[in-house]
Amino acid sequence: MVGKVCGTGSYVPAHVMSNDDLARIVDTNDEWIRERTGIGRRHIIDGETTSYMAGQAAKKALEQSGIDPEEIDIILLATSSSETVYPCAACEVQKMIGAKHAAGYDLNAACTGFVMAFNAAQAYISAGFCRTVLVIGAESMSNMVDWTDRGTCILFGDGAGAVILRAAEGAPVHMAAHSDGKKGVALTGLSRHRKDWEKEPEDGSVKESFIHMDGQAVFKFAVRKVPEIIEEVLEESGTGLDEIDYFVLHQANRRIIEAVARRLKTDIGKFPMNLEEYANTSAATVPILLDEMNRGGMLKKGQKIMTAGFGAGLTWAASLFEW
């Protein structure tokens, strides 16, 4: 048995922050941000929480799938920015959607979180442990960034995406996952949330900073490791590069995605992107993009999708599945 996607959903806050809006907070400009990252805007929470967004995305996925919430066996929620450590966000979602038979837990692998959770769900299903899994990526990155650090605050946005996997006969799902804790220092985040990002500290002290990143180290890591793991999965599955219909990558930066396509010598048209609109929503990028592709009619039964995530840890993972 494999987990077939039978519903997708997403939620992004209505409140939009453009690059010009950011230029009023830090010394930056639209041209620099677009050229270096491809990002034009990001959606930022305005009263929403990570669990709320996750619940909304889950409701839309459920609605599309036609599955009764009581049929869900497990809720896996990838996040590194939940407003509560416990109850975990997955249990909050369980409550919101009435999935009373489900077990739920959160999983933190930063931007790789959704792909790690998707792989875990596939492993549960193929082992016969469960039939129906709700996999969610949800983040309030605006609570995590230092809004005075122009090197990082321009990169992130908030949102959530969800998929429902249902056990079915089908082509095997192939996957890989790696971590390199020794290089973790390249991208670190404190768990304390900051709500007052618009205010200056009264005592003029150094601002608390939540995400610290060596941008160039992360860039180099991503453009090396993502093609490597895609090739690893292709080889293990005996699939040719040309057989892949879409590469659904973590939406961190347009230049990273273009570099991956170049290294794989593959048509950039097979790498859909939506980061201009949403920026990097960490664990939520892949399911938000999948939902947009699904609802936009891009995905057809039998197509081969390669998804890959990469991020803090350092962590990276990939999954090859049939739609």
In sequence order, what E strands does 29-157 have? 41-43, 74-78, 103-107, 132-140
Helices (H), the chain: 19-23, 30-37, 50-65, 89-97, 113-126, 215-237, 254-264, 275-278, 285-295
CB of residue 151 to ligand ACO, shortest distance in Å:
5
Positions in 192-231 near ligand ACO (CB under 6 A): 213, 215-216, 218-219
Side chain identity, residue 33: I
CB of residue 134 to ligand ACO, shortest distance in Å:
23
CB of residue 26 to ligand ACO, shortest distance in Å:
7
Q: Which of 5, 76, 312, 317 is in the footprint of ligand ACO by CB under 6 A? A: 312
Strands 158-168 and 2-11: antiparallel
Alpha-carbon span 43 to 159, nearest angstrom: 7
Using the rule CB under 6 A, give the single segment among 33-41, 49-57, 62-70, 315-323 that binds ligand ACO: 33-41
Which lies closer to ligand ACO via its Cβ, residue 154 or residue 233? 154
Dump the DSSP string for 209-231: --EEE-HHHHHHHHHHHHHHHHH
Query: Residue 205 has which token pair?
Result: 């002290």
Q: Which of 15, 101, 131, 150 is in the footprint of ligand ACO by CB under 6 A? A: 150
Which lies closer to ligand ACO via its Cβ, residue 32 or residue 105? 32
Which lies closer to ligand ACO via its Cβ, residue 67 or residue 145? 145
Strands 187-189 and 211-213: antiparallel
The question of whether 250 is a catalytic residue gets the answer yes
Positions in 84-143 near ligand ACO (CB under 6 A): 110-111
The question of whether 130 is a catalytic residue gets the answer no
Q: Which of 8, 19, 28, 209 is in the footprint of ligand ACO by CB under 6 A? A: 28
CB of residue 254 to ligand ACO, shortest distance in Å:
9
CB of residue 213 to ligand ACO, shortest distance in Å:
6
Side chain identity, residue 14: A
Which lies closer to ligand ACO via its Cβ, residue 171 or residue 217? 217
Distances (CA, A) of 86 to 57, 71, 92, 107, 161: 20, 24, 9, 12, 21
Q: Are 65 and 283 in contact (CB under 8 A)?
A: no
Q: What do you get for the CA distance between the two ends of the chain, in Å?
A: 14
CB of residue 291 to ligand ACO, shortest distance in Å:
19
Size of site (CB under 6 A) for ligand ACO: 23
314 cis-preceded (ω within 30 degrees of 0): yes
Alpha-carbon span 162 to 68, nearest angstrom: 15
Task: Tell me which of 111, 143, 153, 294 is the catalytic residue.
Answer: 111
The question of whether 111 is a catalytic residue gets the answer yes
How many other C-beta atoms lie within 10 A of the C-beta of residue 231?
15
Query: Should residue 151 be labelled a site residue for ligand ACO when binding is judged by CB under 6 A?
Result: yes
Alpha-carbon span 262 to 259, nearest angstrom: 5
Query: Residue 86 has which token pair?
Result: 């416990």
87 cis-preceded (ω within 30 degrees of 0): yes
Q: What binding mask, one character per residue, do residues 244-283 give for ligand ACO by CB under 6 A, x or -?
A: --------xx--------------------------x-x-
Task: Tell me which of 108, 119, 280, 294 is the catalytic residue.
Answer: 280
Q: Which of 36, 101, 183, 224 is in the footprint of ligand ACO by CB under 6 A? A: 36
Point out the residues that are catalytic.
111, 250, 280
List residues binding ligand ACO (CB under 6 A).
Answer: 28, 32-33, 36-37, 110-111, 150-151, 154-155, 187, 213, 215-216, 218-219, 252-253, 280, 282, 311-312
